[in-house]
Amino acid sequence: MALVGRSAQEPASARRTSAAGPTPLETHAPMAATALMNVMIGAARKAGRSLTRDFGEVENLQVSVKGPGNFVSAADHKAEEIIYGELAKARPGYSFLMEERGVVVGADQSHRWIVDPLDGTTNFLHGVPLFAISIGLEREGQLVAGVVYSPVTDELFTAEKGKGAFLNDRRRLRVAARKSLADALVTTGIPHLGRPGHAVFLNEISGVLKEVAGVRRTGSAALDLAWTAAGRFDAYWERNIQPWDTAAGIVLVREAGGTISDLSGGSAMFEKTEVLATNAALHKPLLRLLAEAPAAA
Ligand code: 2AM
Ligand code: CA
């Protein structure tokens, strides 16, 4: 994603709240990862080491006249090349959809990796450690596996369809159990400078702020989804969001028992480039609240 025209974003924190706090996470012995998961985790960790090294340099570059923009673009591309190389080596022929490289049609079109090598680029650029690598896998058009890796915190969120979602291989992820909007901590994305949708967003946020306990904005859709899967956030919605931002996180949320849809309640998240992720109890109330926001021009 081009860095030109990006504005600073506010970092948000995921403060745990209230008596009805996140469902306690079960701790397991380390899971025996499947061969597929090992491939995805290996690629994410290798790219994570590269991003961590480059993130260390970003701080030094804040004071230079040109700023770290070009350096961050290079870090982003380097991470993508690492992931592309690792995945292509392990699963020759699979197709790709990558944020920087775009579409790569492989000999095997029934499998498609959907990859964001650096989600939260604006944070990375500003030295804010909220960013992640996101790798999803589609089989016959169905999302079947996802990995979201936060290199700075070394948190690895993994999920395979039908096998559950896990944090660092041992903690089973579950969405939060809160049933009331008034208790809910909700995360969202704010359209960036030069992007459409500011007026709609302001209408939506004004409705949501009146009903929920609090709102956060991390600047990384992949982390928003992973943290919703982990029950840290109760809900997440965003418009103008791309498949590489959400593919892995969709699997995480589903496997953590959450509900994920487009903003009409359907499953066209990629086509409509919009998403709402919650637990089952909060889904309908939030869909209604967002639908009530007048779609200002
Ligand atoms: P990115 O960092 O990979 O681009 C947060 O709202 C989401 O918006 C992030 O997942 C982020 O992904 C994306 N984003 C950040 N800056 C953007 C921009 N200028 N245009 C479009 N999307 C952006
Ligand atoms: Ca992204």
In this structure, the answer to whether residues 116 and 218 fall within a common structural domain is no
> In terms of domains, do 151 and 220 share one?
no
d(CA 189, ligand 1 centre) in Å: 9
Residue of the CA atom closest to atom 18 of ligand 1? 192
Sequence-distant (≥ 6) Cβ neighbours of residue 101 within 8 angstroms? 80, 84
CA–CA gap between residue 261 and residue 276 (Å, rounded): 5
C-alpha 18 to ligand 2 mean position (Å) = 31
Domain co-membership, 159 together with 199: no
Distance 35 CA to ligand 1 centre (A): 31
Return the best residue to mutate from 3, 10, 99, 119 for the ligand 1 pocket (most ligand atoms within 8 A of CB). Answer: 119
Question: Is residue 168 located within the same domain as residue 230?
Answer: no
Confidence (pLDDT) at 293: 85
Specify if 7 maps to a domain.
no
Ligand nearest to the CA of 223: 1
70 inside domain: yes
- Residues framing ligand 1 (Cβ under 6 A): 1, 6, 99, 116, 118-122, 189, 192, 195, 219-221, 238, 245
Sign of CA dihedral 33, 86, 245, 97: negative
Domain that includes residue 42, residue range:
35-172
DSSP of 79-138: HHHHHHHHHHHHSTTEEEEETTTEEE--SEEEEEEEEEEEE-HHHHHTT----EEEEEEE
Which ligand lies nearest the alpha carbon of 73? Answer: 1
CATH number at residue 75: 3.30.540.10
Residues 158 and 198 in one domain: no
Provide the residue count of the chain.
297
Residues 55, 166, single domain; the answer is yes
Residues 162 and 186 reside in one and the same domain: no
Q: Is residue 253 part of a domain?
A: yes
Q: Tell the residue nearest (CA) to atom 6 of ligand 1.
A: 189
Question: Do both 218 and 277 map to the same domain?
Answer: yes
The answer as to whether 14 is a domain residue is no
290, 275 contact by CB (below 8 A): no
Q: Quote the crossing angle between the two packed helices 35-61 and 69-90, to the nearest 10°.
A: 170
- Give distance in angstroms: CA of 163 to centre of ligand 1: 30
Indicate whether 127 and 50 sit together in one domain: yes
For ligand 1, atom 5: residue with the closest CA = 219
Same domain, 117 and 193: no
Closest CA to 78 of 114, 53, 41: 53
pLDDT at 8: 34
Q: Whose CA is nearest to atom 20 of ligand 1?
A: 192
DSSP 8-state code for residue 218: -
Which backbone phi and psi does 109 adopt, to 5 degrees?
-90, 0
Number of domains in the chain: 2
Three-class DSSP labels, 190-214: CCCCCCCCHHHHHHHHHHHHCCCCE
pLDDT per residue, tens digit, the chain (297 aa), is 544 333 333 323 333 334 344 544 566 666 678 999 999 999 999 999 999 999 998 877 876 767 788 888 999 999 999 999 999 999 999 999 999 999 999 999 999 999 999 999 999 999 999 999 999 999 999 999 999 999 999 999 999 999 999 999 889 999 999 999 999 999 999 999 888 899 999 999 999 999 999 999 999 999 999 999 999 999 999 999 999 999 999 999 999 999 999 999 999 999 999 999 999 999 999 999 999 987 654
Q: From ligand 2's centre to the CA of 219, what distance in Å?
A: 9
User: Across-strand partners of 59?
Assistant: none
Domain assignment of residue 256, yes or no: yes
pLDDT of residue 5: 37
CATH number of the domain to which 187 belongs: 3.40.190.80
**What is residue 23's three-state secondary structure?**
coil
Shared domain for 51 and 100, answered yes or no, is yes
Q: How close is the Cα of 119 to the center of ligand 1, in Å?
A: 7
Classify residue 186: in a domain, yes or no.
Answer: yes
